[in-house]
Amino acid sequence: MAKLFIPREIAAGERRVAATPETVKKFIKAGLEVEVEAGAGEGSSILDARYSDAGATLVADATAAWSGADVVIKVAVPSVAEASKMKAGAVLVSFMAPHRNLDVVRKLADARITSLAMELVPRTTRAQTMDALSSQASIGGYKSVLIAAARLGKYFPLLMTAAGTVPPAKVVIMGAGVAGLQAVATAKRLGAVVEVSDVRAAAKEQVESLGGKFIELPMQESGEGTGGYAKEMSEEFLRKQREIVMQHLAKADVVICTALVPGGRRRSSSTTML
């Protein structure tokens, strides 16, 4: 029986876990022996007992579990030390960002370990059940708005008070992908005036359907790329875009950047303009 191991994430600030008790049950039903490192689910408020109840074996010695596993599933990119613990011929399923973690990739290759990078799964209809990016992008868009609202020194909504009127906050969102659209919806629910910039003309309808205003750009060339991403634009287009967007940024209280560049680092952040 193949053995699957779910380790506790060690990356700074990482609170996620690669599997829940519900998915553990599915692994066991598929014929896998599942081991979970003690405390793996603590950051996600999942107690060890729930994994035990689901049929997993809790292990305190992570080193032995790493070396004995046929399959390891995790969230964050493994460290070189973690990769060194895996046995030859094993399989690793995780976010990998291989272009930025060549030392880890080399270590895995030397040990003949098959690694499956979840962020590289094609974002197509057929592969939707394996789309590990969209759910995380949606959370990023949602949380970035909440963080900005908490830190901004004014209200998001329009308020009518006895002392006068408090104007709503102005939010500019860069990119109308999964994260950007979630940010639009969240900011609008909080009462902000929302503007969105995207090089894809098709994003306009989606932005407006959520109550946002689309920042019109010179669309002599299409920004539509493959797989739902935007493509790289000409320098002339980018120059005009900067000029137009800068006018809106200068009046904004909050700027949210959520665009994901294929092969790059996700920029899920919010900046309050105080």
Look up 123 and say whether it is catalytic: yes
Active-site choice (229, 241, 266, 267): 229
Active site residue 134: yes
Count how many residues are written for the chain: 274
Instruction: State the catalytic residue, choosing from 123, 155, 241, 267.
Output: 123
Asked if 256 and 148 touch (Cβ cutoff 8 Å), the reply is yes
Rounded CA-CA distance 248/257 in Å is 14
**Active-site position among 131, 198, 253, 270:** 131
Known active-site residue 128: yes
For residue 232, count other CB atoms closer than 10 A to its CB: 11
Q: How far apart are CA 197 and CA 175, in angstroms?
A: 6
Q: Cβ–Cβ contacts within 10 Å for residue 21, how many? A: 18
The residue annotated as part of the active site, out of 100, 103, 112, 128, is: 128
Pairing of strands 71-73, 3-6: parallel
DSSP 8-state secondary structure symbol assigned to residue 195: E
Token duo for residue 177? 């992908």
Tokens describing residue 214? 């689309």
Angle between helices 134-151 and 178-189 (to 10 degrees): 40
Q: Point out the catalytic residue in the list 67, 84, 134, 241.
A: 134
Just list the catalytic residues.
Answer: 123, 128, 131, 134, 229
